[in-house]
Amino acid sequence: MDTKSIAKAFALKGEILEIKPLGEGLINDTYKVNTDGPENYVLQRINNAIFQDVELLQHNIECATAHIRKKLEAAGESDIDRKVLRFVPVKESGKTYLQDGNNFWRVSVFIENAHTYNTVNPEYSYCCGKAFGNFQAQLADIPDTLGETIPDFHNMELRARQLREAVEQDKAGRLKDPEVQAILKDLKPFEEEMCKAERLHREGKLPKRICHCDTKVNNMMFDDEGNVLCIIDLDTLMPSFVFSDFGDFLRTAANTVAEDSPEVDKVDFRMDIFEAFAKGYLESARSFLTPIEIENLPYAACLFPYMQAVRFFADYINGDTYYKIQYPEHNMVRTRNQVALFHKALEKVPQMKAYIESLM
Ligand code: GN1
Ligand code: MG
């Protein structure tokens, strides 16, 4: 079926005028559906090779958005459809996704007059910190059981193992490249330290909480005044360590350049962004965080560039089967960038620790 027939299977208001590609996600395919009715929509093809349990994925999203909606209503908020995503049911089944052969599709209401950014200043970063802390706080008492939509998604031990397997298999014959060897050598000494979260969890010292797990800057929508309206891209919403949301935001927002910029010498980890984000995050999340979680926020800021470097690098070695690429070396460029960011963040850990202590 074409996108128009797919969209028409959902209970849309109004007639479809136009469907066009939207956004820059590396996993799903996203379209904007314009209608002559009161709302426009976002149509997405869920990448089922990556999200294999679409039923669970939509269960997580439906429970979480319903829970947040209830809280917004109880707080007497207005304009709620712009503050939490609303998914449109399929006319025939009433479900929030449609299976067409091997493809899975869903539709949500498009949030009008909202903006996403790929970079933020400290003021916006502070708002993002508050918003993600608040998001975790809102979901802290969700009564439903949510599952892991990608099992062990942010498990560093698994990611390290996947890199080792990629190296053993050398499917794309890329291991003969001396640069590939050099990067492997560079990453290895930090592996054990970076797997700290899993160890703490096994020792019963670190809980899993419902997290967003893809807190890239551009997964946040702002209104015209710069207030955070809504958090989007909820596929990876699942139980994880709070480090996921703290670390992945800074991985994208504190980097002085984009995650795939080839200008590696321009990569730096911005402390002004870190400080603003940490301040906002702790203001809204402090009430439920444990001392171990707070103490390890600087570790989280290093973990995510490290994990992302490992993931991009493993995909490069495997012959680019996971992330969408725009040119053959794309995953290698991304890897170099994230390795550089990791080292910059690591250098700043003492400063990060001092700042967090000053907030407590
Ligand atoms: C993917 O789809 P997108 O671009 O929001 C990835 C994230 C990575 C990110 C790197 C399910 O997110 O984990 O951090 O690319 N999502 C999945 O840009 O793997
Ligand atoms: Mg996204």
Q: What is the pLDDT of residues 106-145, one digit of tens each?
A: 999 999 999 998 888 999 999 999 999 999 999 999 999 9
| Per-domain boundaries in the chain | 3-109, 122-359
User: For the domain bounded by 3-109, which CATH number is listed?
Assistant: 3.30.200.20
Mean pLDDT of the 79-97 span = 95
Answer yes or no: same fold for 3-109 and 122-359. Answer: no
E strand intervals along 196-259: 209-211, 220-222, 228-231, 238-240
Q: State the amino acid at position 47 in one-letter form.
A: N
- For residue 267, report the distance from its CA to the centre of ligand 2, in Å: 22
Instruction: Give 1-6's long-range contacts (Cβ < 8 A, gap of 24+).
Output: 1/100, 3/31, 3/43, 6/43, 6/98, 6/100, 6/105
Cα of 182 vs centre of ligand 2, distance in Å, is 31
d(CA 191, CA 336): 17
**Portion of the chain with pLDDT greater than 90, in percent:** 94
| Euclidean distance between CA atoms 29 and 103, whole angstroms | 11
pLDDT score for 226: 83
Residue of the nearest CA to atom 15 in ligand 1? 26
Question: Is 260 a pocket residue for ligand 1 (Cβ < 6 Å)?
Answer: no
Cα 65 to Cα 326: distance, rounded to the nearest angstrom: 33
- CA separation, residue 13 to residues 89, 136, 198 (Å): 12, 32, 47
Q: Within 13 Å and on the Cβ side, how many CA atoms surround 30?
A: 14
Residue-wise pLDDT tens digits, 192-243: 999 999 999 999 999 999 999 999 888 999 999 888 999 999 999 999 999 9
- Reported CATH class of domain 122-359: alpha beta
**Of 33, 103, 96, 105, which Cα lies nearest the Cα of 61?**
96
pLDDT in tens, 1-43: 799 999 999 999 999 999 999 987 788 899 999 999 999 999 9
SS3 state of residue 206? coil
Q: Name 266's Cβ contacts closer than 8 Å, sequence gap at least 6.
A: 256, 257
